C-alpha cells in the first residue's frame, strides 16, 4: 500500500514536471505559470523589437543615397549668391556637408568626378554648420545631402546620404 501510494506521488510529480517543461517550451501557446512570470513575454517582446529594428534598417539602407523628388522641392530656387559660388551653365550639384562627416568625403569625390565628366555642370559644396539658415529653409536633415539643380537653380532631385555615381548621372539627365 505504501509502495502504491509512493508510485502515484512519483507519477504526479513527473506529470507536473512534464507539464511545466511543455509550458516552458511552448509558453505563448499554453497558459501556465511561465506566461505569468514574463519570461515568454520578454522573449516575444525582444523578437518584435528585433523585427522592427531590422525592418527600419532595411528601409533606411534602401532609401540611403537615392536621388528622389520631394513634394516642395520643385518650387525652391537657389542662386549663386545663396550658395557662395556660381551656378553651372547646364546644372549644379549642391552638396551639404560637415567637417566630421565621413560619407561626405566620398560624396565630394563622386560629385567632382561627375561634374568633370559633364560639360556645364558645377559642383558646389556648402558647409551645413555655417549656413544654418539655408539648411533650415531647404530642410536638410542629415549630411551629406545632395541637391541637383537645373540651369535656373530649381531643385530637381535630392538625396540624403551618399549617392551612387550612376544615380547622379541619371538625375543630371533630367536636370539638363
Residue 96's pLDDT is 95
Q: How confident is the model at residue 124 (pLDDT cuts 50, 70, 90)?
A: very high
CB 140 within 8 A of CB 104: no
Tens digit of each residue's pLDDT (9 = 90 or more) over 57-88: 888 777 776 766 666 566 788 999 999 999 99
Q: How confident is the model at residue 127 (pLDDT cuts 50, 70, 90)?
A: very high
Q: Per-residue pLDDT for 90 more than 90?
A: yes
Rounded Cα distance between 43 and 40, Å, is 5
Q: What angle do CA 24, 25, 28 make, to 5 degrees?
A: 80
Residue 5's pLDDT is 54
- Domains located in the chain, CATH noted: 2-63 (no CATH), 73-175 (3.40.30.10)
Residue 71's pLDDT is 60
Please state, rounded to an integer, the average pLDDT across all residues of the chain. Answer: 81
Rounded Cα distance between 59 and 72, Å, is 23
User: What is the distance of C-alpha 49 from the center of its chain?
Assistant: 17
Amino acid at each position: 500500500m505504501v509502495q502504491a501510494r509512493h508510485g502515484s506521488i512519483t507519477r504526479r510529480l513527473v506529470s507536473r514536471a512534464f507539464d511545466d517543461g511543455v509550458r516552458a517550451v511552448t509558453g505563448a501557446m499554453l497558459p501556465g505559470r511561465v506566461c505569468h512570470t514574463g519570461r515568454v513575454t520578454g522573449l516575444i517582446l525582444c523578437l518584435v523589437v528585433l523585427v522592427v529594428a531590422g525592418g527600419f534598417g532595411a528601409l533606411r539602407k534602401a532609401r540611403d543615397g537615392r536621388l528622389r523628388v520631394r513634394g516642395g522641392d520643385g518650387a525652391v530656387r537657389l542662386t549663386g549668391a545663396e550658395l557662395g559660388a556660381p551656378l553651372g551653365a547646364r546644372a549644379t550639384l549642391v552638396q551639404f556637408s560637415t567637417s566630421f562627416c565621413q560619407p561626405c568625403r566620398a560624396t565630394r569625390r563622386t560629385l567632382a568626378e561627375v561634374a568633370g565628366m559633364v560639360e556645364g555642370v558645377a559642383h558646389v559644396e556648402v558647409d551645413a554648420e555655417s549656413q544654418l539658415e539655408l539648411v533650415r529653409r531647404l530642410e536638410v536633415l542629415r549630411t551629406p545631402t545632395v541637391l541637383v539643380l537645373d540651369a535656373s537653380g530649381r531643385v530637381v532631385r535630392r538625396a540624403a546620404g551618399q549617392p551612387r555615381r550612376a544615380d547622379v548621372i541619371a538625375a543630371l539627365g533630367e536636370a539638363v
